[in-house]
Amino acid sequence: MAEKKSDRSSSSPGRKRNASASSKTGGPGRRKSCFFCKSKVDEVDYKNVNELRRYVSEKGKIRNRRISGACRRHQRQVAVAVKRAREIALLPYVGDK
């Protein structure tokens, strides 16, 4: 009879078992700082389309905090501002194909 291997590390020979914490999370440990906090903005303005385009992807989706680097407070304001700008046709709902 064939013996069954109990060691899981042998199934994937190129992978190390003891990896550092930053490689487990998938990236560097340093976060981006919030653009609005750095420039001391209290409210995100929906009429400032050039600033809002940074937070919208090419497909037209609102980028999340992890990608955009905005803090929680300003990310919520960005989402509301993008939705308001879409409503009055300053920003498109969908991007170009």
The pLDDT score that the predictor gives to residue 51 is 92
Cα 40 to the center of its chain, rounded Å: 22
Digits of tens for pLDDT over the chain (97 positions)? 666 655 555 555 665 555 555 556 666 677 778 999 999 989 999 999 999 999 999 999 999 999 999 999 999 999 999 999 999 999 999 987 6
> What does the DSSP assignment read for 16-50?
-SS--HHHHHTS-SPPPPPHHHHTT-SS--TT-HH
**CATH architecture of the domain with residue range 34-97:** Irregular (4.10)
pTM of the shown model: 0.68
Q: For the chain, what are the domain ranges?
A: 34-97
| CA gap 97, 67 in Å, rounded | 22
